[in-house]
Amino acid sequence: MKFTKMHGIGNDYIYVNCFEETVEDPSGLAKRLSDRHTGIGSDGLVLIRPSETADFRMDMFNSDGSQAQMCGNAIRCVGKYVYDHGLTKETTITIDTLAGVKTLWLTVENGKVTAARVNMGKPEFAPEKIPVAAEGEKVVDYPVMLSGKEYRITCVSMGNPHAVLFVDDVDALNLEVLGPRFEHHPLFPERINTEFVKVLDRGRLRMRVWERGAGETMACGTGACASLAAAYVNGLSDYKAELLLNGGSLFIEWDEESGCIFMTGPAETVFTGEVEL
């Protein structure tokens, strides 16, 4: 099977062109190929497929084999793949995901896509739609007890569930311990992606992320969008900000007129190859 390894600010996936390839067991293949010692090494597997409702479709599977609804960094790479490989000549395209159809505006330099702006849709705060097992219209600055310590979370869905915490020192946190405790907390019936955010100023946020099914990753596009939304509703940021993640920066803007959040960031190809199945 032919594959392409790509990343968006360090959030790396294995991409397979399913216009040409057939993947029988994507969950099992994601687990096998994502292993960084015995496989290719990645945060998961992304299948690029035809779509009846958009220009293309992406189906993604985390490194533990679970299927995810969306990934902001991966969708930019899908945009780069389909343009760079001649599957489209358009610089405005639509991609169908389990979180709905997303529109991308591609930045092309010397015939190759270097970055993309994505309409990530409207943030959802209703707990039953995230989902979060909590009452009320929103879960904002909500107290959660973990190992005898109280944390305050704001929950947002960007097509997948996020819990955002604002902390004083992001880099001092032990995410290997904290991340799984949040991911598997009974508040979250479908598990949760958790963002740990330090507000540097109203236009810059420093973020680390623990992704359900993948652990700590270098970046998370939907998590960056959720973090901006959470910061804004808590009065901690403006409606647009630079999100500084372990792998680099994303620029996030919450458009007041449409209610949608837009994400802009790079997309890079690492290498291509073939793997024996």
pLDDT of res. 70: 94
Section 120-130 average pLDDT: 97
- 211 labelled binding-site residue: yes
Mean pLDDT (the chain, rounded): 97
Looking at the structure of the chain, the number of domains it has is 2
Catalytic residue among 71, 77, 155, 225: 71
pLDDT of res. 147: 86
The token pair that represents 268 in the structure block: 């890079």
Residue 245: CATH number of its domain: 3.10.310.10
- 181 labelled binding-site residue: no
Range of the domain at 57: 2-119+265-274
- 72 labelled binding-site residue: yes
C-alpha to C-alpha distances, 108 to 18, 48, 122, nearest whole angstrom: 24, 20, 27
Residue 154 shares a structural domain with residue 36: no
Contact 116, 267 (CB under 8 A): yes
Which of 30-34, 145-149, 246-250 bottoms out in mean pLDDT, i.e. has the lowest? 145-149
Catalytic residue among 77, 155, 220, 225: 220
For residue range 51-108, what is the model confidence (pLDDT) as tens digits? 999 999 999 999 999 999 999 999 999 999 999 999 999 999 999 999 999 999 999 9
Q: Is 18 a catalytic residue?
A: no
- 272 labelled binding-site residue: no
Section 183-198 average pLDDT: 97
- 152 labelled binding-site residue: no
Q: Is 155 a catalytic residue?
A: no
Residue 108 shares a structural domain with residue 146: no
